[in-house]
Structures are given as C-alpha cells and as structure tokens.
Structure 1
C-alpha cells in the first residue's frame, strides 16, 4: 500500500509549491520553517494518494460486498437474482461454492470478461488470497466483480467506475505538513515468526506477521508502534491516536514506512492516511490493535473525509 515519490526537478518543484494548499501556507506564516523540497515531495505524495483513490478501480469505486452463503446463487441486478447487485446486467450468471472453491457460470449472451479476456464458459474464480485473483469485467469495463476471502468465508466484491462515491469525490483534507512530524525511531526486532492479532471491521481476527516495533519520542514522551510486514521489506502500521474521531477518521489510520536501516525507521506522520472504510461501507478494513492506540495528539496527515451532502 505504500506510495513512493522520488526527488523532483527544480522546474517541477516550483510548480508543486504553487499548489501546496492554504493549510501549509498558514503553517509557514505561523513561523514553522518548512523545507521547500520536503513540502514539494509531500505535495506529490498527496497527489498520488488522491489519484489512487479515484482511479476507475480505486476504493471510491467500491459499491458492493455480498457474502456467498448458499451452495449456489444467481447473481445480477434483476429482481430474480439471489445476490442482487446494484449495477450490471439483470442476469449475470451463477456463483457456486464447492469444497472451499468458487466457480462462476456466465448467463448465455452476456458480454463479460475474465482478467481482460472474453468469458464464455464456467470458470474457477481465484480469491484475493490467491496469487492471481479472478476479476470479471462487465458493462464494457466499467464494472469489476471479484472474490474475497475473510475468515474462511467468501464474498463478492463489486466495483463500478461510475459510482457516486467516485464521481462525487470531494477531495482530501490534511493538517499542515511539518518536518517535525517526520520522526526517526528505533527499530526493536521481534523473534522470527511472531504475529499480532488484527481484527477487522467485520469482526474477523487474523494473525499478521509482526517483525518488530518502532520506539519514538514526541513532546518529551516515548511511544511504541507495532509494525506489520517483514523486517527486510516495507513496514505497515494500523494506528489510532487522540485525533481519532476528533479530526481524523474515528476507526484509525494507516502509515507506511521503509524497511529498517541501521536499526532506525522513519515515521512520517504527515503521510498517515485513511483506510478504505472512510470512503465506502463495503470495505473490510483492519482496526488498530490495542498496542497501537497512542495517547498522543497526532495533528498530522490526512483528516477525516467529508463525504458530499446529498441534495433531496
């Protein structure tokens, strides 16, 4: 989930600085010295973050999560469907589960694809836990249907490029970007094979690889964050702090970091970002473990998403 940007050329740097946003300008006016390169790099990160969210298959396009409960379900947007989709053909086909495997048989005459190729007959759909997940395309590529597995159960995930949550996306809001929130911490490795229990919003608990923790200081106090991932790769944090529900998303935020180097890890809280659940009710986001609930006011990074107001 990490997003990396390289150093920008001076010509691009000037252009990015123009669009840094009122909040960052106010931070400078308040006497906080912000390095131009840091500010430009952070602006580019924010732009990439937004582009990923509003991509045709980004999280803002997610419109459905349907659990596969029976041995077989007819699926489609029509009234006769056992699993009724909010988009797509009235009759799309039949989903079957057998011995933990999921199969799909398309309705005759419906124009569908599987991973970009024409879909004509019965196929097995690999889930998001497999090496090559199967994605069924419909409505000339606007729609995408796939299988996810959570706690031994399977569900259909539906994305649609014309979803209101995508077409009416109102943008992201951030606290001012400050270098003081880019903190170098001490990496504390755990014994090989250690895991941490992570519970998601649908109540499923998973044992996630927990290679170590990062100890850091802020406002004269010491804090600890447990990392997910692997010690020789990027680290991932699910955290909450005193802004959760008071400026930032109530269920917590995510943070990415580079692999430890010389026993150090840089935590850039300016790049703390909302989980997919902040934008759609159909995601299955992990929740912060008790170890990562900080008694700290992290006024940095992404604020709670202000969803558009529907006019009746």
Structure 2
C-alpha cells in the first residue's frame, strides 16, 4: 500500500511541476501583455512593430522605417500580407517578443507575448487541494448519437461523488476527454467561472478514469487577455469537487 501511495504522490508531483513549467514558459499565456481585435482600420500597438489591420485577403501589417518582423524564420519589412488565420493562429517574432494572431469566432485577435511581462516573472505556484487517491474516480462515457448540447460535444461521463450521481458533458481532446465544469467550490476556494479536466480516452467498454487532482484553472483565472469557455448549464454541479487547483494568488 505504501508503494502505491508513493507512486501516486510521485506521479502527481511530477505532473504538478510540469503544469507550473507550462504556465511559466517564456511565451505562455502569462506572458501576454494585451488583447487587441483587428479590423479594417490599421492600428499601432505599444511595443509591437507596424500598423496592423484585417484586409480583404487576411491579416496585413505595414512596417515603418527601421521596423521588421521575423516570419517563418525570415526577416521581413515594408508591407507584409500574413493572410487568413484560423483558431490555431500564427506567431511572428520581434526580438524576444512574439506576436500571436488568431481567429476567435467572427473576429481576429492580436496578442503580444513578452517573457519579461510581470505577470509571468512574478508568478507564484498555484494553490492546490492536497492530492488524494479518493479523487481518482471511475466514470462511464456515453457517446452522443444524435442530438447534443453543442456541436463539438462528443458525449457525457457519469460517475458518483459523495453518493450523488453526476453527469458532465465532454469534448474531444485528441482522443481523450475535456471537461469544463463549475461546482460548489466555485467562487469560494476555486475560480468562479469554473475549471477544467483532461481525461484519457475511454476504454473499449466505455470506462474512463477521472483524476480530479489534476483539475486546472482556465487561462482566464490568471489573465484578462485570454478567451475562455464557459461551463454548460449541465456542467454546473451542486457537489463540491475539493481537488485540483484553487484561485491563483
């Protein structure tokens, strides 16, 4: 039993460190210094070279004298057509600065990412509930076969918490499951808008393990310069999931 507990804690601690490493990556979302929506009117953004606009052929930027960007490893100047962008977006460089451009719904955003941003350099490890094997729950996956609450929902997971049956709508995550939910801790110990959990792919018989110790905050818990999903009404639980990340310091 001791070995099992040690393995659980060791794996959780390694996962926790990897999570913090991703949070503080030089160009992670803690380095975002602003969020700017592009339209047909060229706009200049503090610290970012050029005047940016959304033209008929996609994103374009006019770089003035002495200004340049690095696009796909190549330095460019003058008028640059970056073209249409999707949700994944594109990233161009200016020294240590990374300029992210991506679509969100009907709009296109620009977000500078600066490793020297105080939100990143001053980040402290996120508070968490003490890890416990009691929060590693077995659930059953029920794939949708027709009507679904949103077009990208793939099914629901059902499980029991404190004797209460629970169901959560799930999205695909490269074959695994992505759960966005709120619970009785939201707005108290945890971020008010909700949290998220990524689970492994269900087994052939539909069973899936939900390790709520690995529940994480949405990016908007740390910065106003991100866009985050909102838990569906079905995913607002009355039970308390006292596991995973709490409100950041």
The normalised TM-score by structure 1 is 0.74
- Name stretches of at least 5 consecutive residues in structure 2 with no aligned partner: none
2:217 & 2:135 partners in 1: Cα distance? 17
The answer on whether the counterparts of 1:145 and 1:156 sit within 8 Å (CA) in structure 2 is yes
Residue of structure 2 in register with 1:129 after alignment: 87
**TM-aligned CA deviation for residue 99 of structure 1:** 3.2
Q: Which runs of 5+ in 1 are unaligned?
A: 1-32, 76-83, 198-206, 307-312
Preserved contact between residue 141 and residue 208 of structure 2 (Cα < 8 Å): yes
Answer yes or no: is the 8 Å Cα contact 1:60–1:166 preserved in 2. yes
Contact 1:54 1:60 in 2 (8 A): yes
Kindly state the Cα deviation for residue 128 of structure 1 after the two structures are TM-superposed: 4.3
1: CA distance, partners of 2:139 / 2:57: 43
Where has structure 1 moved over 6 Å in runs of 4 or more? Answer: none
- Which residue number corresponds to residue 13 of structure 1? none
The reply to whether residue 41 of structure 1 matches residue 11 of structure 2 is yes
Q: Which residue of 2 aligns with 1:185?
A: 139
Number of the residue aligned with 2:229? 286
Q: Aligned pair 1:240/2:182, yes or no?
A: yes
User: Contact 1:241–1:297 (CA<8 Å) still a contact in 2?
Assistant: yes
Q: Any idea what SS the aligned residue of 1:287 has?
A: coil
8 Å CA contact retained: 1:61, 1:163: yes
- Displacement of 1:126 in angstroms is 4.4
Between the aligned partners of 2:134 and 2:72, the Cα distance in structure 1 is: 45
Please say if residues 94 and 106 of structure 1, whose CA atoms lie closer than 8 Å, have aligned partners that are also in contact. yes
The offset of 1:148, in angstroms, is 2.1
CA contact (8 A) 1:210 1:229 kept: yes
Q: Determine whether 1:254 maps to 2:196.
A: yes
SS of residue matched to 2:33: strand
Residue in structure 2 matched with residue 73 of structure 1 by the alignment: 42
Q: 1:38: how far off?
A: 0.7
Instruction: Return the alpha-carbon distance in structure 1 between the equivalents of residues 86 and 55 of structure 2.
Output: 17
* TM-score after normalising by structure 2: 0.91
1:114–1:136 Cα contact (<8 Å) kept: yes
Please give the per-residue CA displacement for 1:166-211, whole angstroms capped at 9, x wherever unaligned.
010011111010011010101111116x5544xxxxxxxxx4x111
Counterpart contact for 2:87–2:104, Cα < 8 Å = no
Larger relative contact order (Cα-Cα within 8 Å, sequence gap ≥ 6)? 2
> In the alignment, is the contact (CA less than 8 A) between 1:104 and 1:125 conserved in 2?
no
Q: CA deviation at 1:34?
A: 7.2
Q: CA deviation at 1:127?
A: 2.6
Deviation for aligned residue 1:35:
0.7
The answer on 1:58 being equivalent to 2:12 is no
- 2:177 and 2:188 map into 1 onto residues whose CA distance is 26
2:219 counterpart (276, 279, 284)? 276
1:74, distance to aligned residue in structure 2 (A): 3.4
Match of residue 76, structure 2, among 116, 119, 127:
119
Which among 146, 160, 184 is matched to residue 114 of structure 2? Answer: 160
Q: CA deviation at 1:118?
A: 1.4
Q: In angstroms, what is the RMSD of aligned CA positions? A: 2.1
